[in-house]
A and B are shown apart, each in its own frame.
Chain A
């Protein structure tokens, strides 16, 4: 079931590379370069050093004693990706790809961002490696995540507000792809999640797999369950991949928004249909004609109508359970974790916490759950404040 390098870029029937012809040589070059460095000792050494000294790896495994006691069920452990430089797991991937770009001789880096976390992590990696970064961000997101726009600019990146389509993450990806088509020779596209045409889903998964590998080392016994939130699916696949061959129950949590029965959610695995977008075949939120739907989530980082192809595959193989939690449940979980443990989680990560709370109650006290806390919530406090003021 576990797929190392996907043949023809396919995880089962999912993935592939549905791309404009102009990008074909660039994708081919990327694939070749990545497969070459994938087992290169020097590359691994250099990335390993950056992850330790610059990003702050390994991240701790924290037993959330108070939360566990409050919920009253299985032991809840938190994999603290929120403690990484920049405040989210995104840096694991941006350091890897920026280093690759440098090896490939590319000096201009472009990236998309939703909440701004990937944009910030890209800007940081580029600043530290001496590369030029330009970030595409949906206009709507530049407003709701204003602080991250300024952070990126401080870090020396240029931010383009995207005003086409729904003006959110998917449109930022569209615009980044258009830029890449136009500047294909000089530019490296640093995608921020386990989505897009092959080899991106493979590459991003490999760079994020450090999360799952550390979990395996840090837990004396393989946990009974692991849980992570799924936007495009990078922190989740990084958590899950090294554990696929174990007996652990694996659960991915999508953004249920106002409920998956409404149209206001971002849960393509729970309520989507197979389709083709952004270079990949996967589950998508779309209408009867195949037009991509506008999505909703309280967390900008999960507000995306698609999902990485490896998740689509793991769903159809019945290896991973995919569930959704609502905005209301997320806020509750956000507050519970903040007050019991003194940890303010990103709203994305609070999705995983919400589900952990739900299932831990039904589990034995001797059992354990590991939740990947993908990021810290400083960026979200205005959103939470507004939400609470409306209640």
Chain B
């Protein structure tokens, strides 16, 4: 590192700039009708009902989280399934991605699911 680098500070975002960015992101979502994840509790209930048809699950072992981003948002559903045999646990994990401003219906277009043993 040269001595010049020492003085040349990385262009740090000011607090005000950060505030502006956060506001722009959250408002872009709030303005787009239907983008606010009011549906999360219902989604969680319905998911549980579907899964419960096939396996026994513990309601407390289900996590639904939503994170807003600038270009896309992530919906993450984490369900811990009971072990198929007494010694193994299975976690099912699904992620839905949606582009900013897109409606909820198209949200699930890039859904991926991964199963881990």
Q: Do A and B come from one complex?
A: no
Residues of chain A at the chain B interface (Cβ within 8 Å)? none
